[in-house]
Structure 1
Amino acid sequence: MGTLHDPASQSLAAASILRQPLPRPPEESIPDAAVTGASGKDVLSDVLRAIKLTGALFFWVDASSPWSVEVPRADSFAEAILPSAQHVISYHIITKGSGWISIGESPPMKFVEGDILVIPHEDTYAMRSAPEERSGLTPEDSLDFFRAMATGHLPFVVTEGGGGPALTRYVCGFLGCDARPFNPLLGALPRLMRIPRVGGAPGDLLDRLIELTLAEAPAQRPGAECVRLRLSELMFVEVVRRYLETLPPEQTGWLAGLRDPAVGRAVALFHENPARDWTIEELARETGVSRSVLAARFMRLVGCPPIQYLTRWRVQLAARLLTDGLVKVSAVGRDVGYKSDAAFSRSFKRIAGVSPAEWRDGRRE
């Protein structure tokens, strides 16, 4: 991959990576139903578009032993790094060394070179060279750091620690997305995702994305920041796909529901045609199971009845249209499947907490 401080070798590496052919999927890869909901609809992509995933801050850390970094809740510094986002996801790519990470008051977990760590729920967390290390910094110190980094007052490469021989090097990235009124993906993710990078097939997609990111890291070429942020979004999507592949059979949640033939197809049908006046009978016919089996399986895996999921998804789509502000409120309601303005307003306010007009005006402000 070259070295961090050698932009020429990194640019050559990036060019070489881009010329390589895309890898073929393995013969025993995860079934298509896990991503497309057992139909032609790519449900995961549909949700990622609706929640407006976007890159935010991105920088590099060189931490020499002993070191400790305590990060406050992401909603406390979101205004500084990505003021337009409802929710901030933190992630780290460990490129050298090892350490420990803990979420809130949970026991620390060891991480090693090659790991990708994702904190999806804005929790406080700490990364340390050893579980007992403490930095002594306050939450306000951390907020000052993020403000300075976001305004360009700090270098891209940040140094931490006591100057000891053990070096841990990692990339810090932050992504913004919508969490309200309905983000089924966030609810399906654990508080901490640790994705190890084991030796995969040549041309592994995640490896190539990381190498491209590291190649762009020291570059000062025009558009470098935009490239890095787009790469961070792609890496997050690939990490979610890797997480989906590792889910145990007994796992529940929205992602697990996509793997189930009947539930996955029902979700895909909702996403293919959310405005249709679906009934549980029609869904049962389309999915090839009985009403009771579909309802029970959907409830167990996704956590709500099928029609309730459809209602939440309609409101999320409507919220996106209202935020864009190009269509009248009444037209938005019809577009997502409501026959009257009153029914749309009641449903939207029950889930979003405000009326459609209040949502539109608040997002504009």
Structure 2
Amino acid sequence: MDVLSDVLLAVRLTGAVYFDIEARSPFVAESPPTDKIAAKVAVDADHLIAFHVLTSGSCWVEAVDEPEPAVLLRAGEMVIFSSGEANILASAPGMRGQPDASRYYRPVNEALPFVIDITGDAAADRCRIVCGYLACDKGPFNPLLDSLPRMVHAPVSERSWGWMTSLLDAAIVASDERDAGQEAMLAKLSELMFVEALKTHIEGLPADTRNWVAGLRDREIGSALRLMHGRFAEPWTLEHLARDVGMSRSSLAERFTAYVGVPPMTYLARWRLQLAARLLQSGSGVAQAASAVGYQSESAFNRAFKRQVGEAPGVWRRRLRA
């Protein structure tokens, strides 16, 4: 399995399409920060990523409290707010609105998405926006979140994933009939579009970018990450890893740290704890989880888990269950 897919599975990425918006200018729609609505939108989510996909027309998008200028979003493009900032969709840059908290809840007697019609000038061009959220684990260790900018704009690439936008738009139209399974299909489509948007983002990074996602495309660092993710329970040493990658220990340690932010063995230790946390959430015992990710003793695992998470694994699991 490739490293990006491995991380997305380990952090339990799950999507939901919440709003199907049709709007004519002038219009503005402001979304609250996801930490203010997480308890209503996804009760058990550790973190919520917000996304918008424009399936027709064009509009402007910007973060509420960020200095970056507004970005023009065109049909077939996606924007992702990885940290869940409050954001604005509008017919012109600089417009401000008031988020409506009553719109954010998980319905029990109807299916998503909620349909919203923002009526402006009847003669103005129409745009259609699909909005939703992606829930994921933020801890114990999510290297993807730490390496993404606050706003990721995924334009239609040369490879073009516009067909996916068309598919999402068709599914939204079909959702008016509320067929069985429609909500789940939209959720999976949003996850698929998120992955494609990430791939477009990675491809467009400048050559001198140094972070985890840029490391995925680097030959040596990408190789080191694949080895550690694919064989995480092995007793890796820096010397062993460097030999398999074809670098000296010092060169690998320096280059890996420049990209990922931590040395290789620190990264491996944190990744093992993320995998162990998922095992604990799935019902594994502490000793079983420790052994599965490569720890030779339960006490060593307990110490490492408490150092990273702030509480012992058994206490952490009981708190989540409660």
How high is the TM-score relative to the length of structure 2? 0.92
Match of 2:269 in 1: 311
Structure 1 stretch displaced more, 257-266 or 294-303: 257-266
Q: 1:185 to 1:332 in 2, by over 3 A?
A: same
User: Deviation at 1:195?
Assistant: 1.2
CA distance in structure 1 between the aligned counterparts of 2:155 and 2:12, rounded to whole angstroms:
27
CA distance in structure 2 between the aligned counterparts of 1:155 and 1:62, rounded to whole angstroms:
13
Where do residues 35-114 of structure 1 align in structure 2 (5 Å cutoff)? 41-103=1-63, 104-106=65-67, 107-114=69-76
How many pairs does the alignment contain? 316
Q: In structure 2, give the amino acid aligned to 1:196.
A: P
Residues 281-334 of structure 1: CA deviation (Å, up to 9, x unaligned) = 111111111111000000101110111000100100010000011x21112111
Partner SS state of residue 91, structure 1: strand
Match of 1:361 in 2: 318
- Matching of residue 162 in structure 1 with residue 120 in structure 2: yes
Correspondence for 1:232 among 185, 190, 193:
190
Q: 1:117 to 1:347 in 2, by over 3 A?
A: same
Q: 1:60 to 1:280 in 2, by over 3 A?
A: same
Q: 1:254 to 1:145 in 2, by over 3 A?
A: same
CA distance in structure 2 between the aligned counterparts of 1:287 and 1:133, rounded to whole angstroms:
51
- Matching of residue 266 in structure 1 with residue 224 in structure 2: yes
CA distance in structure 1 between the aligned counterparts of 2:131 and 2:108, rounded to whole angstroms:
13
Match of 2:305 in 1: 348
Correspondence for 2:143 among 184, 192, 211:
184
Is the contact between residue 76 and residue 165 of structure 2 (CA under 8 Å) also seen in structure 1?
no
Residues 209-234 of structure 1: CA deviation (Å, up to 9, x unaligned) = 22222111132221111111111111
User: Deviation at 1:235?
Assistant: 1.0
Partner SS state of residue 244, structure 1: helix
How high is the TM-score relative to the length of structure 1? 0.81
Give the unaligned 5+ runs of structure 2. none
- Matching of residue 195 in structure 1 with residue 157 in structure 2: no
CA distance in structure 2 between the aligned counterparts of 1:170 and 1:182, rounded to whole angstroms:
32
Q: In structure 2, give the amino acid aligned to 1:75.
A: D
Match of 1:129 in 2: 91
Partner SS state of residue 116, structure 2: strand
CA distance in structure 2 between the aligned counterparts of 1:155 and 1:42, rounded to whole angstroms:
32
CA distance in structure 2 between the aligned counterparts of 1:271 and 1:248, rounded to whole angstroms:
25
CA distance in structure 2 between the aligned counterparts of 1:331 and 1:117, rounded to whole angstroms:
40
Match of 2:163 in 1: 208
CA distance in structure 1 between the aligned counterparts of 2:75 and 2:163, rounded to whole angstroms:
16
Is the contact between residue 319 and residue 359 of structure 1 (CA under 8 Å) also seen in structure 2?
no
Q: 1:63 to 1:81 in 2, by over 3 A?
A: same
Is the contact between residue 86 and residue 179 of structure 1 (CA under 8 Å) also seen in structure 2?
yes
Q: 1:186 to 1:64 in 2, by over 3 A?
A: same
Q: 1:155 to 1:110 in 2, by over 3 A?
A: closer
CA distance in structure 2 between the aligned counterparts of 1:177 and 1:148, rounded to whole angstroms:
17
User: Deviation at 1:342?
Assistant: 1.6
Give the unaligned 5+ runs of structure 1. 1-40
Partner SS state of residue 83, structure 1: coil
Partner SS state of residue 217, structure 1: helix
User: Deviation at 1:63?
Assistant: 1.5
Following superposition, which runs of at least 4 residues in structure 1 exceed 3 angstroms of deviation? 148-156, 161-164
- Matching of residue 256 in structure 1 with residue 211 in structure 2: no
User: Deviation at 1:91?
Assistant: 1.1
- Matching of residue 245 in structure 1 with residue 206 in structure 2: no
Q: 1:154 to 1:197 in 2, by over 3 A?
A: closer
User: Deviation at 1:56?
Assistant: 2.2
Partner SS state of residue 61, structure 1: strand
